[in-house]
Amino acid sequence: MCTYANAYVESCTQCRASKSLNQKPAALLQELIIPSRRWSHVSLDFITDLRLTKTGHDSILVLVDSLSKMAHFVPATRTFTAADTVDVLADHLIRYHGLPGALISDRYPRFQSDLWQQLCMRFNITRALSSSYHPQSDGQTERVNRTLQQMLRTYIQSDEREWERLLPALELAYNNTSHPTTELSPFDAMIRENPLAAADLDVVGAVSSTLTTPMAKLFRQLCDRAQGHILKAKC
């Protein structure tokens, strides 16, 4: 699978054109603590300035577990306040993984607001802000962001407003692909097994009652291509 995926991405002109350059930072950055519990240390960042979708979203909030490398991609808006971000954490982080011990972010005003500080104090959450001079100190989320952005550039050809409907397939593919740091997929690191993905079954037949044939085929294609793209990007 890895050999095939690498060969496919190497031969894909669109993949090469969309791929970001992974340059080393200009100076040494502070090492982040290696957590002992999954989802105890969570990195979060926004991908902004995307085309406005039909549901009013123009950004993606990316949440990454520092230990398992599992990620969640949440539709958002550039005008998200601290309160909006707290609501997303409740729905997409705390609901499934419990309270984190540390939140690692850049220096967006929303992450330095009184509400954000009160949240962290109330639940004894450590705030870790990346350096003003070296925002790459939150390198984990930056790498995931680059991978997600280049996948979106590769797959969105006709209507750039359609990026939101691709997020579930891309999140599944990302979390179901072996990570070079852990040598495990995030799913494997979390639950010790990989769930069935589109490539593992006849998607068209299995979901024909809920998805149209073109959509089902697209979902399978996205999962297959995203896994190959992630393996090549080595994010």
Beta partners for residue 45, in sequence order: 62
Cα 233 to Cα 136: distance, rounded to the nearest angstrom = 17
> Does residue 97 sit within a domain?
yes
Structure tokens at 14: 């669109």
Per residue in 172-183, pLDDT (tens digit) is: 888 888 888 888
Query: Across all residues in the chain, what is the average pLDDT?
Result: 75
Half-sphere exposure of 185 (CA within 13 A, CB side): 19
Q: Which residue do the tokens 């010790």 mark? A: 192
pLDDT of residue 234: 54
Entry pTM:
0.71
Contacts of 75 (CB under 8 A, 6+ apart): 53, 55, 57, 59, 60, 61, 164, 167
CA 214 to each of CA 105, 194, 203: distance values in angstroms, whole numbers, following the listed order: 38, 25, 11
> pLDDT of 22-80, one tens digit each?
443 333 334 556 788 999 999 999 999 999 999 999 999 999 999 999 999 999 999 99
Specify the number of domains making up the chain. Answer: 1
Residue 43's pLDDT is 92
In a domain? residue 149: yes
Kindly report the CATH number assigned to the domain that includes residue 107: 3.30.420.10
Q: How far apart are CA 210 and CA 204, in angstroms?
A: 10
Give the domain extent around 80.
2-11+36-233
